[in-house]
């Protein structure tokens, strides 16, 4: 039974282990993915750069500090050994019975050995060290004898039984032997090692602390960026172009970015609003003539004989719709014109052509056209677009100026611009309609009574002038006339 139980328990344990291992693996995968995603963020990159810079700085600091510390320690050890050697030599010359105890009292450093040798190599006196195993007598004798030719101002280093030693010797007196002071470098190396470990530990503590601090500072510094992202996502999901990104209240790069994004959102809002208004106006404008055409065609179906007047009226209505559609297409085309494709031409010659057209249009109403054009006004632009833009203004002047009126056209160079002025003595525009004159399909009441246009002329003119980085300003007084001033850069 026991065997059966064990046999049955082993698969369950195996299944449990298999269940546990994938879970740990999935958890580890989640951590790895989270770390990778964090490393791709600006906050992660800034933190890594900061910590990396700190690590490199501390590594250089530890290396320099360790090197300087080792040099200072070596210098101190050398000085101490030379001091001990001088004191031992002085004590040995006293020939006192207690000189051996005095020498032992001088040798208090760990790993230091003092040896006094006779000229024949016999050891007269030798101290021992509890912290370092003494070197072999034969090896120490060999080195002392070898260095006994005179005073050695710098230590001689050698290795005995895997222990690194330094040895400094000096003669007791001529032909009376030598004194050698040996010191183990294990103590020096251990001290250096412990110092490096201590410095490295302190460095790691500061690296971890600064890493956490860097993460916190990066998060705080990038908080406006998170706000920008969230606001942009909310605008994208809600399609609310009236929303704006909160300004961080700083004049740094993030503040500038927020200003640019808010400006872009304002332009997008205006563009979409204009587009919606455009479609609404288009639908309203085209609805009326289409209804008229339908009514007229239905009237033709009910009559037994064709009505020439109805057919002519229907064709005229269709022509109006066609003209409106063409103006709409031309207006849409203006926004795609690239200023880089502008060419230089003589605006004075183009304006002379406009004046001739104006005289031809005005001749039937006995309107006087007066023009004063400065010669050789060279400009970069689209010649056909400027011709259409100026002609729209001139045609309006002719249309809305009563018989025997006057139209004045002038063009002069002012600083780095060309100022074109078109002035008429027409019916003028009411003050409350001046802010709507550039709107698509807008036509004042007095204009609708005199002329059945599309209401797109000044919209086309304004768009064409603005493509050339120019401005158009209109001044008008009802029953007195209208003055249009167009300014174009050279």
- What average pLDDT does the segment 251-269 reach? 79
Cα torsion 375, 410, 335, 384 to 10°: value is -50
Side-chain half-sphere CA neighbours of 384 within 13 A = 4
Top-confidence residue, 318 or 262: 262
Cβ contacts of 378 within 8 Å, gap of 6 or more: 344, 345, 346, 347, 490
447 pLDDT band (50/70/90 cuts)? low
pLDDT at 21 exceeding the cut of 60: no
Cβ-in-10-Å burial (0-12, 13-18, 19+) of 484 comes to: buried
CA angle 182, 183, 185 (to 5 degrees): 140
Cβ contacts of 98 within 8 Å, gap of 6 or more: none
- In angstroms, the CA 397 to CA 408 distance is 10
pLDDT in tens, 231-259: 777 777 766 777 777 777 777 777 787 88
Average pLDDT, whole number, for the chain? 76
Q: In the prediction, which pLDDT does 23 show?
A: 60
Which tokens sit at 305? 């004989």
7 pLDDT band (50/70/90 cuts)? very low
- What average pLDDT does the segment 329-335 reach? 74
Q: Please spell the DSSP secondary structure of 30-64, one letter per residue.
A: HHHHHHHHHHHSHHHHHHHHHHHHHHHHHHHHHHH
Q: What percent of the chain has pLDDT over 90?
A: 12
Cβ-in-10-Å burial (0-12, 13-18, 19+) of 481 comes to: buried
pLDDT at 16 exceeding the cut of 60: no
- In angstroms, the CA 485 to CA 191 distance is 90
Helix (H) or strand (E) holding 132: none
Q: In the prediction, which pLDDT does 282 show?
A: 67
pLDDT in tens, 70-125: 788 777 777 878 888 888 888 887 776 777 777 777 776 667 778 888 877 777 88
483 pLDDT band (50/70/90 cuts)? very high
Give SS3 for 408: strand
pLDDT in tens, 187-243: 777 777 887 788 778 878 887 887 788 777 777 777 777 777 787 777 777 667 777
Which tokens sit at 6? 């064990």
Top-confidence residue, 322 or 341: 341
CB burial of 434-464 (b: ≥16 within 10 Å; e: otherwise) equals eeebbbbbebbebbeeeeebbbbbbbbbbbb
- Decide if 344 contacts 386 (C-beta within 8 A): no
- Decide if 183 contacts 77 (C-beta within 8 A): yes
Q: In the prediction, which pLDDT does 298 show?
A: 65
Q: In the prediction, which pLDDT does 453 show?
A: 66
Which tokens sit at 62? 């530890």
- In angstroms, the CA 151 to CA 469 distance is 94
- In angstroms, the CA 88 to CA 149 distance is 19
First CA to last CA across the chain, in angstroms? 106
Q: Give the least confident one: 1-5, 61-65, 117-121, 398-402.
A: 1-5
Cβ-in-10-Å burial (0-12, 13-18, 19+) of 377 comes to: buried
pLDDT at 165 exceeding the cut of 80: no
Give SS3 for 288: helix
Q: Which domains are assigned to the chain?
A: 97-188 (3.30.450.30), 341-489 (3.30.565.10)
Q: Is 401 left (phi over 0), alpha (psi -120 to 50) or beta?
A: beta
């Amino acid at each position: 039974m026991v065997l059966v139980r064990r046999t049955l328990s082993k698969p369950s344990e195996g299944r449990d282990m298999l269940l546990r291992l994938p879970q740990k693996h999935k958890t580890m995968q989640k951590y790895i993915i989270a770390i990778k995603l964090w490393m791709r963020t600006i906050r992660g990159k800034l933190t890594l750069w900061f910590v990396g810079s700190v690590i490199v700085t501390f590594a250089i600091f530890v290396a320099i500090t360790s090197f300087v510390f080792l040099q200072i320690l070596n210098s101190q050890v050398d000085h101490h050994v030379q001091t001990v050697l001088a004191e031992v030599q002085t004590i040995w010359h006293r020939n006192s019975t207690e000189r051996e105890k005095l020498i032992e009292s001088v040798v208090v450093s760990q790993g230091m050995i003092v040896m006094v040798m006779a000229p024949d190599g016999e050891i007269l006196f030798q101290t021992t060290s509890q912290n370092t195993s003494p070197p072999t007598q034969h090896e120490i004798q060999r080195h002392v004898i070898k260095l006994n030719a005179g005073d050695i101002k710098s230590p001689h280093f050698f290795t005995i039984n895997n222990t690194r030693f330094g040895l400094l010797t000096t003669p007791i007196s001529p032909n009376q032997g030598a004194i050698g002071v040996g010191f183990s470098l294990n103590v020096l190396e251990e001290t250096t090692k412990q110092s490096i470990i201590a410095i490295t530990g302190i460095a790691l503590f500061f690296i971890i602390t600064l890493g956490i601090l860097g993460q916190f500072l990066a998060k705080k510094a990038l908080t406006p960026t998170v706000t920008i992202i969230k606001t942009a996502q909310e605008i994208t999901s809600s399609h609310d172009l009236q929303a704006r990104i909160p300004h961080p209240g700083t004049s740094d790069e993030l503040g500038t970015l927020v200003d640019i994004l808010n400006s872009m959102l304002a332009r997008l809002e205006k563009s979409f609003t204009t587009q919606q208004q455009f479609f609404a106006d288009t639908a309203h404008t085209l609805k009326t003539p289409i209804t008229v055409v339908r009514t007229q065609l239905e009237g033709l179906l009910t009559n037994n004989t064709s009505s020439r007047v109805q057919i002519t009226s229907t064709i005229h209505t269709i022509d109006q719709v066609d003209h409106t559609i063409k103006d709409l297409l031309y207006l849409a085309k203006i926004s795609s014109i690239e200023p880089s494709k502008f060419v230089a031409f003589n605006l004075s010659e183009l304006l002379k052509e406009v004046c001739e057209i104006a005289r031809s249009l005005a001749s039937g109403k006995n309107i006087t056209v007066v023009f004063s054009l400065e010669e050789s006004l060279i400009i970069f632009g689209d010649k056909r677009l400027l011709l259409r833009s100026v002609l729209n203004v001139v045609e309006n002047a002719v249309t809305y100026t009563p018989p025997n009126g006057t139209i004045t056209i002038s063009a002069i160079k002012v600083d780095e611009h060309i100022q074109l002025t078109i002035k008429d003595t027409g019916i003028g525009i009411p003050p409350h309609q001046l802010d709507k004159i550039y709107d698509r399909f807008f036509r004042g009441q007095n204009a609708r009574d005199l002329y059945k246009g599309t209401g797109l002329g000044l919209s086309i003119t304004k768009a064409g002038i603005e493509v050339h980085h120019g401005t158009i300003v209109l001044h008008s007084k009802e029953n007195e006339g209208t003055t249009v001033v167009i300014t174009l850069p050279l």
